[in-house]
């Protein structure tokens, strides 16, 4: 087992990893930007070092500074969390070349699964159902030819990256060229890669993802599904597990297919396979694989009792999974609400000083956050300031518990979305679990 780990991230996920290290008896090293000197993860870690300016490119994306700090502080491993460098194959490769364990899959696996076109081909070869569409298109004319074969509506999707960027819905040939140009330009700016492919647009559908855990000895576990269909502009807002509308037969099929997919990708560590699910006929289609820890991993931990971060660390230390698929029991129902800071009247970056804070409590109520009373939220990073997670015996109980927890949550000094989350939980489609990915578009 490692004796010291560097956490190459910030915010709640850095706090989460540092806590896991403490519980495992592992020393932790935090890195921080100039804007994060007063951040919680900095004070919780055993050691902490400034690695650059406030902008991510100068600090949390500064590979040389992170690696230098790791080597100088005597760390044997780096945990990248999610975002930033977590799905950067070059970073994982440089870790390996410097004899630093990267707590995640191998660089070549990250590269293959990060290339959405290559990932799709891997799944097809493994017999995993995929969304009808085409491979990478060379130019506008080639794209138009493939679009005619696929039929409208369709999605133009960036080969690289994620987070909803580089994706455009096209409803007819008349609007194709404009959307193609926008998708390729956005992909080039966001990911340095303007290549795109296309898929048939399936709607209405649910966004269901399966949590995977795989060791270096060929053992793969599927830890159950999460329903992530409640989204705004392709950004997840609420996640829950299990997915109520999924039949047990479909669930077992999805587990079987996901294990097969992970093995086909030679995957190791914690990962997530995302699907589109059609509740009308029970069919599901591979969408992409996230080669990192997900923001919504706590709901899986709540219903399985398995600590995903600790297992990420154990697997990176070459330990074997001591759990079998038959031992995985899904208990109760868990829901997560993302608490996001919101810019004042929709303008500028979200920031502010926390001048009042009350965190909900009670059995099976969890608030993963890095904020504290007196903390100034910097305006340079992601807007999520916390994740509120609850677990209860039934879904109805979990919804009521979440509403109660949201009412109890007080964060003063920063505009946030807790009230909006309560409204979403009260939607009729959420209450009966029939909501699909387009629910907020229809609400608008």
CATH number (domain holding residue 13)? 3.40.50.20
Shared-domain flag, residues 96 and 153: no
Residue 348 in any domain: the answer is yes
Domain boundary among 158, 173, 200: 200
**Residue 281: how many CB atoms within 10 A of its CB?**
6
Shared-domain flag, residues 179 and 238: no
Domain boundary among 160, 184, 200: 200
Helix and strand totals (H; E) in the chain: 15, 21
pLDDT score of 163: 67
Shared-domain flag, residues 247 and 378: yes
Shared-domain flag, residues 167 and 217: no
Domain boundary among 166, 200, 234: 200
Residue 118 in any domain: the answer is no
Tokens of 233: 């502009």
Question: N- to C-terminal Cα distance for the chain?
Answer: 51
Q: What is the helix (H) or strand (E) element at residue 335, kind and residue range?
A: strand 333-340
Q: How far, in Å, CA of 44 to CA of 350, rounded?
A: 24
Shared-domain flag, residues 193 and 215: no
Residue 195 in any domain: the answer is yes
pLDDT score of 441: 82
Torsions phi, psi for 409 (to 5 deg): -70, 120
Residue 386 in any domain: the answer is yes
Residue 120 in any domain: the answer is no
Shared-domain flag, residues 312 and 252: yes
pLDDT in tens, 161-208: 676 788 999 999 999 999 999 999 999 998 899 999 999 999 899 999
Shared-domain flag, residues 210 and 169: no
Shared-domain flag, residues 372 and 420: yes
Q: pTM for the whole thing?
A: 0.92
Q: How far, in Å, CA of 196 to CA of 188, rounded?
A: 10
pLDDT score of 442: 67
* Number of structural domains in the chain: 3
Residue 125 in any domain: the answer is no
pLDDT score of 347: 46
Shared-domain flag, residues 142 and 37: no
- Domain ranges, residue 397: 206-443
Residue 156 in 3-state DSSP? strand
Closest of 291, 294, 316 to residue 88, by C-alpha: 291
Shared-domain flag, residues 397 and 413: yes
Closest of 336, 115, 371, 132 to residue 238, by C-alpha: 336
Residue 380 in any domain: the answer is yes
Q: Which residue has the tokens 């460098």?
A: 85
pLDDT in tens, 295-321: 999 999 999 999 999 999 999 999 999
Q: Are 303 and 330 in contact (CB under 8 A)?
A: yes
Closest of 7, 11, 16, 86 to residue 297, by C-alpha: 16
pLDDT score of 110: 97
Set 168, 251, 292, 314: catalytic member = 292
pLDDT score of 349: 55
Residues above pLDDT 90, as percent of the chain: 90
All residue ranges of the chain with pLDDT < 70 are 161, 163, 343-350, 442-444
Q: How far, in Å, CA of 207 to CA of 79, rounded?
A: 27
Q: Which residue has the tokens 């081909």?
A: 121
Q: How far, in Å, CA of 181 to CA of 80, rounded?
A: 33
Shared-domain flag, residues 248 and 336: yes
| 10 is an active site residue | no
CATH number (domain holding residue 431)? 3.30.470.20
Shared-domain flag, residues 211 and 195: no
pLDDT score of 386: 98
CATH number (domain holding residue 157)? 3.30.1490.20
On the 0-12 / 13-18 / 19+ scale of CB atoms within 10 A, 99 is: exposed
Residue 119 in any domain: the answer is no
């Amino acid at each position: 087992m490692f004796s010291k780990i560097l956490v190459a991230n910030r915010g709640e996920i850095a706090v989460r990893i540092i806590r896991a290290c403490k519980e495992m008896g592992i020393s932790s090293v935090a890195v921080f930007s100039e804007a994060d000197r007063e951040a919680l993860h900095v004070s919780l870690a055993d050691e902490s070092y400034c690695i650059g300016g406030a902008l991510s490119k100068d600090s949390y994306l500064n590979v040389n500074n992170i690696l230098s700090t790791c080597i100088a502080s005597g760390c044997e491993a780096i945990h990248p969390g999610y975002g930033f460098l977590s799905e950067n194959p070059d970073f994982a490769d440089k870790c390996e070349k410097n004899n630093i364990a990267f707590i995640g899959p191998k660089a070549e696996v990250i590269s293959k699964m990060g290339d959405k076109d290559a990932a799709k081909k891997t799944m097809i070869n493994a017999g995993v159902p995929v969304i009808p569409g085409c491979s990478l298109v060379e130019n506008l004319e080639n794209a138009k030819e493939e679009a005619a074969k696929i039929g409208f509506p369709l999605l133009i999707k960036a080969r690289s990256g994620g987070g909803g960027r580089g994706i455009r819905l096209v409803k007819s040939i008349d609007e194709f060229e404009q959307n193609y140009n926008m998708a390729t330009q956005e992909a080039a700016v966001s990911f340095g890669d303007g290549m795109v492919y296309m898929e048939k647009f399936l709607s209405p559908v649910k966004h269901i993802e399966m949590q995977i855990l795989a060791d270096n000895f060929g053992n793969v576990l599927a830890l159950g599904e999460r329903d992530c269909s409640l989204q705004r502009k392709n950004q997840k807002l609420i996640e829950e597990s299990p997915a109520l509308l999924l039949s047990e037969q479909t669930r077992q099929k999805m587990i079987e297919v996901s294990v097969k997919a992970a093995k086909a990708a030679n995957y190791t560590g914690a990962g997530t396979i995302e699907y589109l699910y059609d509740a009308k006929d029970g069919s599901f289609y591979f969408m992409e694989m996230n080669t990192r820890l997900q923001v919504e991993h706590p709901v899986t931990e709540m219903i399985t009792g398995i600590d995903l971060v600790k297992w990420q660390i154990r697997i990176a230390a070459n330990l074997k999974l001591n759990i079998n698929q038959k031992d995985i029991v899904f208990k109760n129902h868990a829901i997560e609400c993302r608490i996001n800071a919101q810019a004042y009247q929709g303008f500028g970056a979200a920031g502010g000083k926390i001048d009042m804070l009350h965190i909900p409590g009670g059995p099976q109520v969890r608030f993963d956050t890095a904020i504290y009373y007196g903390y100034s939220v910097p305006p340079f990073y992601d807007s999520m300031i916390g994740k509120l997670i609850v677990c209860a015996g039934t879904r109805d109980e979990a919804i009521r518990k979440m509403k109660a927890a949201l009412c109890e949550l007080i964060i003063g000094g920063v505009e946030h979305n807790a009230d909006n989350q309560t409204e979403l939980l009260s939607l009729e489609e959420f209450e009966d679990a029939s909501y699909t990915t387009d629910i907020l578009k229809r609400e608008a």
